[in-house]
Structure 1
Amino acid sequence: MTGTSGPSRQPAEGDLDWPVTVDERGVTEIRVHGVGGGSPTAMLDDPTARQITGDRVAGVWRGLDWRVEGRSRWHREVYSWGGLTSKALSSALWLILLPFALVNLAGWMALGGRGRETGPANWLIVVQQNMTRVVGLGVTWLYLIFSAQMSMDLGAWQCARTTCRADGVWKWLHLDGHPHGAAAVAAVIPVAQILVMARLTAVSKRRYDEHGAPATSTPATERVAPADLARITMSSPHFWTARTYDEPARRIHLASSVLVIAFLLLSVAKAGGKFSDVVRAAWFVVGALLAVAVVCAAWDGLRRVVAERSAAPVYATAGLALGAAWLAVSVQPAGTPAEAGIMPGIVGFFDVVLVVIYLAGLLHGVVAVAGLRQVRALNNWAKPAWFPAPIVALVVAVAMTLAVGSGIVVWVARWLSPEAAPTSGEQLWQLSYPVSYTASAQLNVTGVLAVVVGFAVVAGISVRRRRREPDVALAAEFAVWKRYEALPGWQHLAGDERDGRWLRSVRTWLWLAGAARWLENLVIAVVLLSSGCLVAYAVWAFAEWRGSGFPVTLAICGIVLLFGAGVCAFTAAGTARHPHAVRLGAITAFAAGLALVVRVADRGLPEAGADPPPLDVPWLFGEAIATTVLALIPVAGVLLLRRAIRSDSTRRAVGVAWDITTFWPRGFHPLAPPSYAQRAVPDLVHRTTALLSNGNAVLLCGHSQGAALTAAALAQLTGLEEEHRARLSVVTYGNPLGHLYMRWFPTYVNEAFVDECLAVPAGNSWVNFYRHTDPVGRELFRKASPECRATEPAAGRDCWLPDPPTDLMRPGDGPPRIRQHGNGGYLWQSAAAAHLVHEAHRLESLTRRSSPMTEQVAVPEAGAGEEALIAFALTCPPDADLYAQALSRWEQTGSIEGDLETLRAALAGAQRQHRWTGTSIFGSAPFDRDPFVLALVERIRELSGGTVQRRQEI
């Protein structure tokens, strides 16, 4: 483009500041890849594919057009979203926050009646989701407690008074023997952790979340009321708008995290003795604010109040509390307190947080069981698991946080001082940590390993039996294979002379296709065993603890449990009548219970006879081994995800669970990894509506997780006009909606959701292809057709594809391969390929009926600039073959031959071949000065008489 103050700017490949214009007339096929995806060139099987929309993270790529009845009217595009989950280093770092993602997932797994946008919400779903938010807040605090335990307690409070690897730092800072000052300095580390979490959420909001708002929504600077997640459905216009989910919760989590550090600092200041009355009063105030944060997490009404107010007072209050706490610690005298041990307040606060998490989880579990019964009564063909899935997600999140966090703390303690031990720290020279940390590490590692080994043995026996049993599972495949007669020299591998080894491999893959249920039961078994071990240890520890702390603790738990049960009951009544008054009373009672916990923690439990001794059981892993294994889990996870970013095979192996985990918006934990669907779904909706609004047709093709994105986009297109619906068709393959999503997320993905999406394309033109060997993609509509005929009207049906497609083998060839879940294996199978061709021809005929006759396009004058030539070239679909033929003839004879339409296609092909590099691939001349291009334009001008008819056939 030529400017007035400088040389012309040449557009470069991938330079998305330069507008890319492509021909959109006819049918546009948009492929959406699945887990791990693949490069756009591989998806389109076209090395010349180029990006036409989006950025380096996600966008639409287009390859060469295919012809329909001799015309280039079948445009092939792929929406590439893999960069949203696997192109940045931060994607690997997000794995450290996997427990947050599991908590968020548990909220979307809430069990109960189907979501409704009008009328009273299902109280079962309301209670589960509110308790999930409470557990999520507790897990965030556990992260900070473990960080404070390593930095403020072990590295500062204890190391400042004894010999350890960090004592040189405190001597250099003149803080040796001054544990209060050391703890104040070390508080910088957990505060920095909070700032990093805030920064990550801010970056993700810009990269992912701001794409989710519809065009008619309020500006980004205005506040949006939080969505009612117990009523909202995936067809809601604001379902993928981040501001309706995480802004109030983000304030609560970040501000309360700062208050946690302030609370710990004030607990340390209380032990110093200076300004004790003022410090105690401040300690009570901060504790009350933390209780309010828990109430905010559990009460929708109070969260809405937080959302409607400015964030400045919330963050300012937390900042002032932290500053006051830091000042209170800094003024404490050196050498106090005289007794050794763990930093004051941290173990007590840890216990209180665990009580809140466990009781919220218990209430959640009781209600989830009732919700599971309600879901089963809905006669949904995709029955949920026998054990409530949200409980599993919550328990795994909490157990993972406790196990890994305690393992890292113990490992750090032993690194700082080899003499560190799980005792009360009676010796000044000895670092100490809670006994429960080592017990948690040992029980979790041993229990998980025992369950995994047991399941491996059972799975091996099952596979062995499947490989030897009769071919009942292959009955459908045998029926298809027998239809094909063997050509001379060919043989049926499943005929009379069967290749037993090949059939055994097919049976093995059929068994692996059902491995999702095995993994589901494995996780449930791990959850039950880990929970049982921790409960058993708690009972044993209380029995060993001979003091009067046991009944007091039980009394606290009982009181909070009663108040929590009141919240549950009142919430159920509140959804029917007088919700605000009833809920206010329930939350007040719950806050009173929390205040009681804070008060008892302040006064301290009565003196106990002795701490529970460390576990010394022969069949348990040793403390050193267990804690080392747990400490290496985050490092191994980051390395695994980094390898997955670079390796397709590893990415596919770990991608299924990760992509499902990050599919849902951050509605229940604002610090969870961002939802890629909040960017991908609006992108698909905008591209589809833009094409349909111009009279063109769209063929959406979704594979694996791309099928879930396609369905989510269809839910957002329920308001399409009838004329546009007629020019929309959908094909999914390897689709996890029926097999996984309807089983794990029945509140949001259910039969009503599928029927709503099915009605978007006119005539229910949605076909779902699946295989028995596919572990992810299965039936969706339960209308399987044994005969997949391309000419059959597509009326929302499942189409089964045999795998392998045939058992015929030619001498010298290998046996037919098993295609399983692969993208290419579906598209290259004859039934699916024939259906795509049939749909492209059907949709193309609809676009020709609605297209105008002609459109006049002016031919650039001689010597016209680059911009005019490019615009002119794009008025006709490019044809690389015609370009190559015309160029070869011109080089040999020096003449340009052909009719007007052929030469225009050749010129567009020339522009395509230049690939926006600005120079000829046969020389150094710019595109608008290339001799062949100038000759071609001149010949077109002679044939057209100065104008060009852009024809659109009727």
Structure 2
Amino acid sequence: MSQEEPESVLELRIHGVNNTPPHALLDLPEDEVVLSFGDDLGSFWHPTPEAVARTRADEPQGETSRGVVDPAEPPRGRVPAGIHREAYSWGGMVRTTTARAGVGGMVVAAVARAAWTLVLPFSIANAAIWSWSLPSPASGTRIRYGSGLIRLACLALTLVFVLSFASVAIDLIALQCYRGGATICPPLSDVAGMFARWQDERRVALFSLVPVVALLVVFLVSTIATLRYNVAGRILAIDGGDPERPLLAEPRFWQTRRETHRLAMLHLAAGFATVALLLSFAFGDLSPVTAALLTGAAVAVIAAAGALTVSTDSTPYERTGGSSRAPAIVLGLAVALYAVPALVLGFHGHVRLHPTAIGRNADQVLVSVVVGALVLVALAWLLPAPRRTERAWGGRAPAVFLTLGLTISLILGSLVNVLVGDWLNGAAGANRLDEPYTACVGSACRPRQITLGTFYAPFLGITLAAVIVAVAILAVMALRRRDVGDRLPPSSAAPADTPRGALAALLGTEVARKRAMAARLHLVEPIAGVLAVAFFVAILLTLARPFAEGTLSRLPDGLGAFFGGLFGAGLARWIDASLGVWAVISAAILAGLVFGGHKSTRPLALVWDLACFLPRAGHPFGAPCYTERAVPEVARRLAWWLDLPPAAPGAPPRTAIVSAHSMGAVVALSALFALRGDRNWETSYRDRVALLTFGVQLRPYFGRFFPEILGPDVIDSIPCAKPRVWARDPWAGSDLERIGATVGADANPIPETASAPTAAPPGAARPAARVPARAWINLWRLTDHLGFPARSAAASGNERDRYAEEIDVGGYVGAVDSHSWYPRTPAYRRALEDLRAAIATPVAAPGPTPTLPTPAPAPPGAPGVDPA
């Protein structure tokens, strides 16, 4: 091909979890890429004409005397003739925020990081609603018991969030730090010493605003994100037909639904009512009848919010027909229920409070909420989804996600209490925070000592022990020797007389080490399962601790003293020690939030990106779903390119190749499914789009976590079994057809040795393709800790997956690549040319609109079926 060939092919590159900047995604210097279209959240970039001309020059990249550079390698960032290359950057939607200079910018960034950390458990719990058994949109309009259960569990997480801030603001600061008209907390003596002269009830009314404001901040952040991200309705031209399309092609999946706002109102109502419940405890001395009425009203509002949460339609397949005004009414009642007692406490001068009464009752409310949440999680553990072999954790993914979300929420709330309590306690230290409440008033209390509720401190101590046990189990799993060489395709070895082959011989030890490490890191599913079980047990033991202490106290004197010393005193000493550890952890987290660098990075990278991929149908206060904006943007860009006239007179119609890395492959696939719903798909777009993926987690992670969204029936892959923890190769023989399941061949396979596919004979009908792309090639490596085959772990009968070179010979020195730099490999360049040739071949006869039927079992030996 000559360099003057018109650019008829769009190669659209999409980055993955590491938020690769556009210039690195295009493999060019930063000053050689320019913005094509977009803003600070999502943008498209392309090389400058000078960069394209430079990289297309027929010059060797370097001399072998300078190092190990292979002169045959093309220049980095070289764009083949006839291709217009662009990079799509979506990292601003999920992982970072714009850096701000100066002290003010550091404060804003620290607050942003803290906010993202606090909503992390909401996002993880939200994933649970998509991991249960989801019916297709065509299977009927009904609510599923699992959806309601998960929405109710997510509401419990909001209450845990509110109670954590209420414990700090109302109990620790408003009541315990001010006694007898004096400030006993040294850090507050200068800054907030004036509050010591206030009556207790007025301080309670003022500081009750803290959990309310925290809840409103989370709500406002989610609402602003919704306004910026909800663009699907303005971008996509969705056809109303095709009732059998998968969820990724369902219009409602990519559009923030009004039901999410209804859920948000219900969460706000429950939060306001919970704070009102705490304030109602202050009226016991003034009027027991008033206190009982306020308490009953608050409980009734919380119950109403819970009932409406269960019945609210929040997923694309549910229709409940509930009143849209009910959430607003409940929210209005909750606001009034909070405002009235707060105003009475603030302006009435004759209410008398016990300094520890609200704290004790708040602790009991927290325990009640945690018990309720744990019951819901237990139901999720006991009610696994069907097709358990094909699902993560044996169909118990909702239980795992809910357990992780609840535990992280409790840990964050406990850390907030421990960190603030340790700061307020002065010289007393964190190990004094777990002492029980003392019924004291004024000067009768010991000076300079405050205590936490009866849940936070024991929970942190027991959780630390559970984490240690889980880490020990995971360490044993990690120590297992790993050898994954048996899955290496025979054709992947480079000739010994080439630079890559010579380097492979020199770096053989490093290659083997990286392959073994990748195999260990591939055990995400069992690792998360071990942690979830440990966390569930930790919560259960924390709740059971008071009953155990009561049982020990009723034993005979000798036995009671023995077991009390063994379990009671020993556990108390462990909790004391663990609080010091957690205080250090809290300080480290706080330091990381304040001095976290120039960018505001969201926590837990891959976990965050996995959770934020899904719309907020379970918890409305989770992080924004980046795909609600990224997917429509990519689909619109593809439609824009495909709608352009030919690049030159007489040139063929324009075509597109979506090239996606890691999590970018999820965005790419989702965008293709969204584009499939376009009214021009069948008549214009269908045969002009191809997909090239590399370093993806589609089959073993997304396919097992969310089978109805990205499972084998959707992406046409062999169903995947769980990894074998104690096997040398966790994924050897992971294809489920070894136990009888079979899946048909790819619709449009491309042999690796083929330069171009054979054109269909005149009048031939096109086969129906599951994935809305003319062809799909996936690249993977054994050294990639986040990359897997996209169709099957077996090599035979698998023409979608190709092995990419592990040795990079394009730099000054050779390197062993793992999850990065796939576009630098010869395998990528070959795949790009094969896909380019595939979509350039016309299809003779139009076929029916593609659907996703369940394939019939293929006969033994059929093409594309892996051997058992």
TM more than 0.5? yes
8 A contact 2:805–2:827 mirrored in 1? no
Contact 1:735 1:777 in 2 (8 A): yes
Structure 1 equivalent of residue 464 of structure 2: 445
Q: Secondary structure at the match of 2:84?
A: strand
**Do the aligned residues in 2 keep the contact of 1:35 with 1:705 (CA within 8 Å)?**
yes
- In structure 2, the residue matched to 1:272 is 285
Kindly indicate whether residue 289 of structure 2 is the aligned counterpart of residue 328 of structure 1: no
Q: Does 1:87 align with 2:97?
A: yes
C-alpha distance 131-667 of structure 1, shift in aligned 2 (>3 A): same
Work out whether residues 156 and 369 of structure 2, in 8 Å CA contact, stay in contact via their aligned partners in 1.
yes
Distance 1:530 1:804, change over 3 A: same
| 1:727 CA displacement | 1.5
**CA 1:408–1:93 in structure 2 vs 1: closer, same or farther (change >3 Å)?**
closer
Q: Provide the rounded CA distance (Å) in 2 between the counterparts of 1:285 and 1:626.
A: 41
Q: 1:457 to 1:750 in 2, by over 3 A?
A: closer
Match of residue 818, structure 2, among 817, 820, 830: 820
Query: What is the aligned counterpart of 2:509 among 482, 504, 507?
Result: 504
One-letter amino acid matched to 1:239:
F
For residues 240-271 of structure 1, give each alpha carbon's deviation from its aligned partner in whole angstroms, at most 9, with x where no partner exists. Answer: 101255211111112221221122112222x2
> In 2 relative to 1, CA 785–354 (structure 1 residues): closer, same or farther, beyond 3 Å?
closer
Q: Give yes or no for contact 1:701–1:730 (8 Å, CA) kept in 2.
A: yes
Cα distance change, pair 654–394 in 1 and its aligned pair in 2 (3 A): closer
Aligned residues of 1:128 and 1:367 also touching (Cα < 8 A): no
Alpha-carbon distance change, 406 to 839 in structure 1, aligned in 2, over 3 angstroms: closer
* Distance of aligned partners of 1:745 and 1:686 in 2 relative to their CA distance in 1, 3 Å threshold: same
Distance apart, 1:193 and its partner CA: 0.9
The alpha-carbon deviation at position 713 of structure 1 amounts to: 0.8
1:520 and 2:532 matched: no
Show CA shifts across 1:84-113 (max 9, x none): 121344366312211111111222222x3x
Contact residue 152 and residue 309 of structure 2 kept, 8 A: yes
Does the CA contact (< 8 Å) of 1:213 and 1:238 recur in 2? no
Letter in 1 for 2:150: T
Amino acid of the structure 2 residue aligned with 1:292: A
Partners in 2 of 1:71 and 1:148 — Cα distance? 61
Which one of 25, 29, 33 corresponds to residue 43 of structure 1?
25
Deviating more after overlay: 751-760 vs 829-838 = 751-760
Q: Report 1:657-736 matches (<5 A).
A: 657-694=607-644, 695-719=653-677, 720-736=681-697
Deviation at 1:645, TM superposition (A): 5.4
Residue deviations 1:334-392 (CA, integer Å, cap 9, x gap)? 57245755536312322221222111112122112xx1xx2236xx4xx5235723222
**1-structure distance, mates of 2:48, 2:842:** 22
> More displaced, 749-758 or 733-742?
749-758
SS where residue 485 of structure 2 aligns? coil
Q: Indicate whether 1:283 and 2:295 are aligned.
A: yes
CA separation of 1:619/1:643 partners in 2, compared to 1, >3 Å: closer, same or farther?
A: farther
Equivalent residue for 1:456? 475
State the distance in 2 between where 1:783 and 1:475 align: 8
Contact 2:10–2:656, Cα closer than 8 Å, also in 1: yes
- Which residue in 2 is equivalent to 1:58? 42
Mapped to 2, the partners of 1:423 and 1:688 lie a distance apart of 63
1:410–1:627 contact (8 Å) kept in structure 2: yes
AA at the equivalent of 1:800: Y
Amino acid in the other structure paired with 2:378 = L
Alpha-carbon contact 2:311-2:322 (below 8 Å) kept = no
1:772–1:802: 8 Å Cα contact kept in structure 2? no
Query: What is the identity, as a one-letter code, of the residue corresponding to 1:817?
Result: A
Instruction: From the superposition, tell whether residues 247 and 339 of structure 1 become closer, same or farther in structure 2 (CA, over 3 Å).
Output: closer
Asked if structure 1 preserves the Cα contact closer than 8 Å seen for 2:308 and 2:327, the reply is: no
Going from structure 1 to structure 2, the CA distance change for 1:71 and 1:746 (only over 3 Å counts) comes to closer
Amino acid at match of 1:254: L
Using the alignment, how far apart are the partners of 1:257 and 1:115 within structure 2? 32
Q: Quick check: which has more Rg, 1 or 2? A: 1
* In 2: Cα distance, 1:247 partner to 1:207 partner: 15
Q: Matched residue of 2:817: which SS?
A: coil
Change (3 A) 1:186 1:306: farther
For residues 845 and 450 of structure 1, what CA distance do their matches in structure 2 show?
A: 58
Structure 1 counterpart of 2:702: 741
1:146 aligns with 2:164: yes
CA spacing shift, 1:688–1:833, aligned 2, 3 Å = same
After TM superposition, give the deviation of residue 214 of structure 1 in Å: 5.3
1:742 CA displacement: 0.6
Establish whether residue 403 from structure 1 lines up as the match of residue 411 from structure 2.
yes
Q: Is contact 1:783-1:797 (8 Å) kept?
A: no
Q: Deviations over 1:182-241 (max 9, x none)?
A: 1011112112112211221122112222446554589xxxxxxxxx9x997111012110
Letter aligned with residue 148 of structure 1: A
1:14 maps to which residue?
none
Give distance in 2, aligned partners of 1:299 and 1:547: 44
| Inter-partner Cα distance in structure 2 for 1:705 and 1:620 | 40
Matched, 1:798 2:801: yes
Structure 1 position 797, deviation (Å)? 1.6
Partners of 1:761 and 1:105 in 2: how far apart? 23
Post-superposition Cα deviations, 1:879-908, rounded to whole Å, max 9, x if no partner, equal: xxxxxxxxxxxxxxxxxxxxxxxxxxxxxx
Structure 1 CA distance, aligned partners of 2:80 and 2:383? 60
Tell me the distance in 2 between the aligned counterparts of 1:751 and 1:519.
Answer: 19
Structure 1 position 167, deviation (Å) = 6.5
CA apart distance, 1:805? 7.8
Task: Classify the secondary structure of the residue corresponding to 1:273.
Answer: coil
CA–CA separation in structure 2 for the residues paired with 1:736 and 1:326: 51
Residue deviations 1:668-727, cap 9 Å, x none? 111111111111000011111122233421111111111110111111122412432121
Deviation at 1:761, TM superposition (A): 7.4
CA distance in 2, matches of 1:620, 1:312: 44
CA distances 1:294-350 after superposition (whole Å, capped 9, x unpaired):
112222469956673387544433322221121333355557245755536312322
1:207 corresponds in structure 2 to 228
User: How big is the shift at 1:398?
Assistant: 1.4
- Which one-letter code corresponds to 2:549 in the other structure? E
Preserved contact between residue 214 and residue 238 of structure 1 (Cα < 8 Å): no
RMSD of aligned alpha carbons: 4.0
| CA 1:732–1:142: 2 relative to 1, 3 Å | same
CA offsets 1:420-476 (integer angstroms, 9 cap, x no match): 6521312332433323321111111232134324533552x32xx44xx7xx71673
Q: Secondary structure at the match of 1:799?
A: strand
Distance of aligned partners of 1:533 and 1:64 in 2 relative to their CA distance in 1, 3 Å threshold = closer
Q: What is the distance in 2 between the residues matched to 1:716 and 1:490? A: 40
> Which blocks of at least 5 consecutive residues in structure 1 are unaligned?
1-22, 219-227, 550-611, 788-794, 848-954
Distance verdict in 2 for CA 1:164–1:813, change over 3 Å: closer
Aligned residues: 705
Amino acid at match of 1:389: A
SS in 1 for 2:393: coil
Does 1:137 pair with 2:155? Answer: yes
Runs (5+) with no aligned partner, structure 2: 58-78, 99-108, 555-566, 645-652, 718-745, 748-768, 844-868
Q: What TM-score, normalized by structure 2, do the two folds share?
A: 0.73
2:272 maps to a residue whose letter is V
Does the C-alpha gap of structure 1 residues 32 and 457 become closer, same or farther in structure 2, counting only changes over 3 Å? same
Helix, strand or coil: the match of 1:30? strand
Equivalent residues of 2:286, 2:351 under 8 A apart: no
Partner residue in 2 for 1:29: 11
Find the aligned partners of 1:28 and 1:393 in 2 and give their Cα distance: 39
Task: Report which stretch shifted further, 706-715 or 187-196.
Answer: 187-196
Q: Residues 170 and 645 (structure 1 numbering): CA distance in 2 closer, same or farther, change over 3 Å?
A: closer
Distance 1:644 1:537, change over 3 A: same
